[in-house]
Structure 1
Amino acid sequence: MSLKTALRRFTGLEFKGQPLSVGDAKVARLWGRLFGWGETAAGKAVTPETALQVSAFWACVRLLAETIATLPIGFLERGADGGRRAANDHPLAYLLRVSPDGEHTAVEFWEGAVIAMCLHGDAFAEKVRDGRGRLIALQPLRSDLMTVRRDADGALAYAYADPVGQRVLGETEVFHLRAFGGSGLRGLSPLMYARQTLASALAADEAAGKLFANGVRPSGVLEVAQILKGDQRRDLRENVVGPLAGSQNAGGVFVLEGGMKFTPISLSPADSQLLETRRWHVEEIARWFGMPPILIGHASQGQTMWGTGVEQIALSWLGLGLRAQLKRIEAAILLRLIEPAERARFYAEFNIEGLLRADSAARAALYASLAQNGIMDRDEIREKENLNRRGGGAGKLTVQSNLLPIDDLGKTAPTPIPAPSDTEE
C-alpha cells in the first residue's frame, strides 16, 4: 500500500495528485487527524493563512514585526577600558544592518524572522560562508519546512525539505531564533496554542458575514399546507426562497400565496451577542501576544485612544513585552552568529531610543538632560540626529552649573558675595 493510499484511507482526504501547501485546509485537517492539535471546537481549520485573516491576529503580528524590524540595531565592540564603540567595519555589522543575503533588506529579513516566530515558534536562516570560512550571507529558510532533531552525538541537526529535496544542515550552518518557551529543540508556536481562540474568531466572522449577506434577517421555516411535488419544490426554491435571501433583497416585500407562512427560527444579533463576542476575541488574541489591545486599535469601553494614559501603556509594553523579544534576538546573534573567539569583544544591541524619534518634544527633553548633566556631549547628540560634528567645545562634557567642562569642576573659585555696606540700613 502506498503512503498516499494509506493517508487517504486514514484521513479521508482526496489529494488528486495536486501538491498542497502547508496552509491548505486539507493539510490542516490531515495534521489534526494525525496528531490531534489541528482540531478545534468551532470546526474551523487554523492555518497561517486563515489566522492572518483575523484582523486582530494580523495587527498583533504586524505591529510586533514592524516595530522590531525598524529599530536600529548596532554592532558594538567592548574596549579594554570597559567602554564600547561601534564596530561598523565588522562583516557581520553589514549583514545585520543593511542586507543579510544581498536580496532582502535588513528590515525585510527581521520582519520575516519575527513573523515566522509568531506563526511557527521559530525562525531559521542558513549561514553562507566563503572559501575561507567567513560568514558572508544569511539565507532565510521556511520554518514550516524545517525539522529539528538531535543526531547520535547529541548535536542539533536541521532537516530542511525544500522544493528541490530534503537536505540536512548542521548546527553551525543554521541561524536559529526560538520564540517563547525555547528551552527545547523548538520554540512554542502561538498559532498552535491559540488555535481554539482563532477558530472561534473565524467562526464569529463567518457568522457575521452570513448574517449581513442575508440582509441582517434571520433564517426560518416556510410552512405550506400541503405536500409538494418535486417540480413544486424546485419552483418554490427558485421563485420564493431565492428572492427572500441575500443582502440585495433586504427591505423588500414578498407575497406568499396558498396559505404559506414564514416562521423565523434564528436568534437576532442582540440575542446571540455577536458584537460582544467579536470584541472579546480581539482582547483574547492580544492577550496571546502580551500586547495591550489599544495598540492595535481596540479601546475598552470608555477608554480614549489618545493622551498620556495611552503613552504609559505603550511604555509598559516596551518594558514588559517588546524588550523580552529584543533580548531574545540579541542573545541568539551572540551565540549563533558571532564566532566563539569574538564573543567576549563583540555583541549586537537594539537601540530602543528609536521608538522615541516620533516624539520630538520627549527627545529634546532627553537630550537636554543628558547634555546638562555631563552624560553626553553635544557632538554625540548631533550624531544621533544625523548632524555633522562641530568640534571644539561641542565635543566636551558639560554640567548644568554654568555649563563648565566637567574636567574644570573645582578649579574655578566661586564668586565672592560682597559684604553689606555700613551705610545700608
Structure 2
Amino acid sequence: MGFDSAFGLMFSSQKRSSSSDGSIFGSIGGFFSLGSSNAYGMKPKSALKLSAFYNGVDQISNDIAKIPFAVYQKDGSNRVSRENHPANELIARNPNYLMTSFVFRKTMVVSYLIRGNALAKINFDAKGYPVSTDFINWDNVQDIRMKKGELLYDVRGYDKPLLASEVLHFKNFSHNGIVGVGVITYAAQQLNIAMEVQNFSATNLKEKGVRQGVIETSKVISKGKDKIIAGWKSAMSERTADRVTVLDEGMTFKPINITPQEAQIIEQARFSIEDIARWLNIALHKIKSLQQSTNNNIEQQALEHVSDTIHPIVANFEQEYAKKLFTPDEIKKGYFIRGNIDSLQRADIKSRSEAHARDVLSGWKSRKEVRALEDMNEGPEFLGEYLTPVNTFTESQIDKNLKEDGK
C-alpha cells in the first residue's frame, strides 16, 4: 500500500472523480492483470518456491536495479547532464525515505515481472516538481477505469482515485497498453508441472524410497491383517534416522519401486528450467544452468541477455519516467532520462584497457571521457583533447598540406 502522503500539484489541470464507470479490469477480466488467478491455481508466492523462477526474477531485477539512471538534456548534437533536476535526485539516489534507488527499482521490477505491472505514487512539491515515489502493492489496485477521457486508478488506502499523471505505471506484456498481464497467468501450466515434479522428488527423498508396497508371507492369515498394516504404518511413520520395524512369522515387505515413468518425471525438472527461462526471457546460464554453455558462447549469451532481456525493460522505464516526471515544456526543451546499460557490459580489465586504447588512439574518445567511464577524476585539462593518428589525415588537411607545399 502507498504511504500516507499529501497529494501534490499536478502537471495538468485534471480533476478527480469517484465515478466507477468504464472499468478496464472489467473489460478484460481483472484477474489477468493480477497474475495470481488461473486454472492451475498457481500464485506468485508459490511460483517463487521454484529455484529457477526465483533466480530468474532475482537476476533480472538486480540487473535493472544496478543500472545508473540519470536526467540529461539535448544540446544540439551533445547531451548535458542535469544532476540538479528534482527528477534526477528521485530516480538516481532517493526515491523515498524508506528505500534506496536500488531497492525501489528492484521492488518495481519484481512486481513488473511477476504481476505484469509495477505501480508507484508520485508526490509533488508546491511548485509541481516530483519529490518522491511510493511503491504501491499491485494487490491493492482495485480498479483502473476511464472517466471522461481520464484514466483513474482506484487503490486501497487512498480516499480518492489516483490520476494517470500521479503514478508511475510500468507495464509488461499487455493486450491493451493500459494494464499488463503477469507471466504466471500464461505460464501457470508449466510452473504447476514444475512444482508437482519438485513435490514428487521431495516426497521420495523424505520417504527414502519406501512409499507403498505389500507384506508377503507363505502362511495364510485369516485374522489380524488390519493390525499388521497398522503396525507397519506406525513404525514407518517415525521420522527418526534409526526407525526400525520387525515382521513376525516369515513376513517380508516388498516395496513397489519407482517406475521408469516416475523416474522420467524427476528428470523432467531439467526441462522445467528451460521452460522457466523461456517464460522469463532469460539465458539459461543466468539461472545457473550450464549444460549448453561453453567458454566460447557464454560471452555471446551475456551480450544477448543485455540486448534482449534487459534493454527492453530499461527503455520501458526510461520512457515512463520521462513522461511522468517532466513538464511538457521540459520535454520540448530536450530533457530525457537514460539508463546506462553499458555498466552491465564491462569486460575484464585487460579487454577494457585494449578497447579504451583503440578508442583514444583512433580519436573518437578523449582520455577524459575514458577516465569518466572508469569512475576516475578528470585529470589535467589537456586530457580532454582528441588525438589524431599521425598517418591519418582528413580531406581538408590534405588540401591544406598540398597548398603549403606549393608555396
Q: TM-score, normalised by structure 1?
A: 0.78
Paired position in structure 1 for 2:307: 319
- Provide the secondary structure at the position in 1 that maps to 2:156: strand
The structure 2 residue matched to 1:394, chosen from 378, 383, 386, is 383
The answer as to whether partners of 2:61 and 2:109 remain within 8 angstroms in 1 is yes
- Per the TM alignment, residue 144 of structure 1 is displaced from its structure 2 partner at its CA by 1.8
Q: How far off is 1:373 after superposition?
A: 1.9
Which of 26, 44, 48 is residue 48 of structure 1 equivalent to? Answer: 44
User: Structure 1 residues 309, 270: CA separation in 2 closer, same or farther (over 3 Å shift)?
Assistant: same
Unaligned regions of 5+ residues in structure 2, if any?
Answer: 1-30, 403-407
Does the 8 Å CA contact 1:118/1:179 hold for their aligned counterparts?
Answer: yes
Match of 1:309 among 297, 302, 309: 297
Query: Whole-Å Cα distance in 1 between the matches of residues 118 and 395 of structure 2?
Result: 49
Tell me which of 232, 235, 242 is aligned to 2:234.
Answer: 242
Aligned partner of 2:18 in structure 1 is none
Aligned to 1:206: 199
Deviation readout 1:161-197 (Å, 9 max, x if unpaired): 13xx664211111111111226332112012211111
Deviates more, 1:196-205 or 1:335-344: 335-344
Quickly say closer, same or farther: Cα 1:243–1:389, change in 2 above 3 A.
Answer: same
Stretch of structure 1 that moved more, 265-274 or 340-349: 265-274
Is this contact kept in 2: 1:76–1:347, CA < 8 A? yes
Mapped partners of 1:221, 1:156: distance in 2: 66
Match of 1:419 in 2: none
**Would you say the 8 A contact 2:116–2:180 is kept in 1?**
yes
Q: What does the per-residue CA deviation read over 1:120-162, in whole Å, with 9 as the maximum and x for residues that have no partner?
A: 1000110111222221111111112113422331311111113
Preserved contact between residue 48 and residue 119 of structure 1 (Cα < 8 Å)? yes
Partner of 1:197: 190
99-108 or 317-326, larger mean C-alpha shift: 317-326
* 1:362 Cα offset (Å): 2.6
2:15 is aligned to: none
Name which structure has the greater RCO, CA cutoff 8 Å, separation 6+: 2
Matched, 1:379 2:368: yes
CA–CA distance in 1 between the matches of 2:240 and 2:270?
Answer: 27
Aligned residue in 1 for 2:349: 360
RMSD: 3.0
Q: Is the 8 A contact 1:372 1:403 kept in 2?
A: no
Q: 1:322 Cα shift?
A: 1.7
Q: How does 1:35-114 map to 2 (within 5 A)?
A: 37-40=37-40, 45-79=41-75, 81-114=76-109
Alpha carbons 1:146, 1:159 under 8 Å: kept:
yes
Deviation at 1:218, TM superposition (A): 4.1
* Cross-structure match for 2:248: 257
Q: CA deviation at 1:110?
A: 0.7
Aligned match of 1:287: 278
Alpha-carbon displacement from aligned partner over 1:14-71 (angstroms, at most 9, x marks no partner): xxxxxxxxxxxxxxxxx89xx995332xxxx422211111000001100100001101
Contact 1:215 1:246 in 2 (8 A): no
Alignment correspondent of 2:115: 120
What is the count of residue pairs matched by the alignment? Answer: 367
Separation in 2, partners of 1:114, 1:412: 57
| Structure 2 CA distance for partners of 1:359 and 1:171, relative to 1, 3 Å | same
- Aligned partner of residue 175 in structure 1, secondary structure: strand
Pick closer, same or farther for the CA change 1:78–1:298 going to 2, 3 Å: same
Aligned-residue sequence identity (percent) comes to 23
Displacement of 1:365 in angstroms is 2.4
Work out the CA distance in 1 between the residues paired with 2:289 and 2:340. Answer: 28
| Contact 2:197/2:266, CA 8 A, preserved across alignment | no
**Cα distance in 2 for residues equivalent to 1:149 and 1:320:** 30
Q: Does 1:186 align with 2:174?
A: no
